[in-house]
Structure 1
């Protein structure tokens, strides 16, 4: 649906409802298409623990390394 700015000023609520129901709503200014009213895409809320139960043991990075790991880290044999 195409409407002029003057019509959009008086029927904004109806135009929003039309856009939400899937209709394309374009507002013309001086006979040229100026803006389109489109609904905002709703995104899924962020979920913490997305990998819960899928990851094995996690090393404790604050614990000191064992001698073998330390030697390997330092480039030893």
Structure 2
């Protein structure tokens, strides 16, 4: 890793970029205090696009009527907050 003063880097920027592209890391310093680092940007691979049907293999494993059955009275009471403590719902 090479340390270069900012005043020098200002006049040699294109040369420094060539060195960074070759794999070198360069630290920029102001009055011998490091303030920044020049490093090469890694090649960004595009993320795969999520398409429709990614869970299609589960279609036959989930019963069709799973979400169509009515709630039991106990489940309905819980959904409507019958078993909630008054402090839980802001009262």
Q: What band does the TM-score fall into relative to the shorter chain?
A: 0.5 to 0.7
Partner of 1:74: 71
Distance 1:14 1:55 in 2: 53
Partner of 1:62: none
Larger radius of gyration: 2
Decide whether aligned partners of structure 1 residues 23 and 75 sit closer, same or farther in structure 2, where only a CA change above 3 A counts.
same
Q: Structure 2: which 5+ runs fail to align?
A: 74-91
Structure 1 segment 3-22 matched on structure 2, within 5 A: 3-22=4-23
Q: How many residues align?
A: 69
Q: Structure 1: which 5+ runs fail to align?
A: 60-64
| TM-score normalised by L of structure 1 | 0.61
Structure 1 segment 34-73 matched on structure 2, within 5 A: 34-49=35-50, 55-56=56-57, 58=59, 66=65, 70-71=68-69, 73=70
| TM-score normalised by L of structure 2 | 0.54
